[in-house]
Amino acid sequence: MPREVRERQMLDAAVAAFARHGYQAASMDDIAEAAGVSKPLVYLYLKSKEDLFMACVRREIRALVAAVRQGTRERGAADQQLWNGLTAFFAHTAARPHGIAVLHRARTQGEPFVQEVTAMRVEITALVTGLLAQAARDTGCDGALAEREVSGLAHALVGAAESLAEWANARAAADGDAAPSAKETAATLMNFCWAGLENLTKGARWVPGPGR
């Protein structure tokens, strides 16, 4: 069996183990057994538990970023592009719950893992900022929607999506039948934010009443 196939099997087994048990508690014996290889082979290929975890984190980051890029590749009306991006994101997080759980674990494991996840978040937020800025230009409101506000909105959207994905996956883990589908989760976020964003691109704003 070629090395890359063996390595993929090891990473698949490791992602599942780290997702289930966490970094500390996951056992290299169990990972080797689940991958159908000997433990020395895991160490030969991936060096150490830390390197194995890092390889998992990097693989899952690449997969998530690729899914979002793919989903937002096609230019279109702002709401359609946002919808495409959200459905691609939630389809990915629903299909790879272990991968998402590994990224969540990585965020709590100190350096160097936190840095990897932070860099991914910066990359996705920059992508979303670009899309929102484009939507603002398309609708001719790029003067009204300051660069600062576009950046803030992008951060809000990424935080909301991240939080919703965790919530949806927790529901699915607790009771798969009662969990929302990826499209339903995407629709929840779309309903949460779209009309707000749409009003912003039309120059309409929510204003607090006097004294509020």
CA distance 91 to 184: 10
Regarding 200 and contact with a second copy (CB under 8 A), the answer is: yes
Q: How far is CA 25 from the centre of its chain?
A: 24
CA-CA-CA-CA torsion sign (90, 96, 97, 101): negative
Regarding 1 and contact with a second copy (CB under 8 A), the answer is: no
22, 4 Cβ separation under 8 angstroms: no
Comparing CB distances to a second copy, the nearer of 2 and 208 is 208
- Cis omega before residue 97 (within 30°)? no
Residue of 58, 127, 141, 196 interacting with a second copy (CB under 8 A)? 196
Could you give the string, one character per residue 110-149, with x where binding to a second copy holds by CB under 8 A and - elsewhere?
x---x---------------------------------xx
Comparing CB distances to a second copy, the nearer of 35 and 78 is 78
Token match 């000997």: residue? 38
Q: Please, which of residues 160-189 interact with a second copy by CB under 8 A?
A: 160-164, 166-168, 171, 178, 180, 185, 187-189
Could you give the string, one character per residue 28-67, with x where binding to a second copy holds by CB under 8 A and - elsewhere?
----------------------------------------
Comparing CB distances to a second copy, the nearer of 44 and 114 is 114
Regarding 206 and contact with a second copy (CB under 8 A), the answer is: yes
Q: How far is the CB of 65 from a second copy (least distance, A)?
A: 17
Could you give the string, one character per residue 73-112, with x where binding to a second copy holds by CB under 8 A and - elsewhere?
------xx--xx----------------------xxxx--
Both tokens assigned to 106: 């990585």
- Cis omega before residue 112 (within 30°)? yes
Both tokens assigned to 195: 């009309």
Q: How far is the CB of 8 from a second copy (least distance, A)?
A: 28
CA distance 145 to 176: 41
Crossing angle between the packed helical segments 182-201 and 78-95, to the nearest 10 degrees: 150
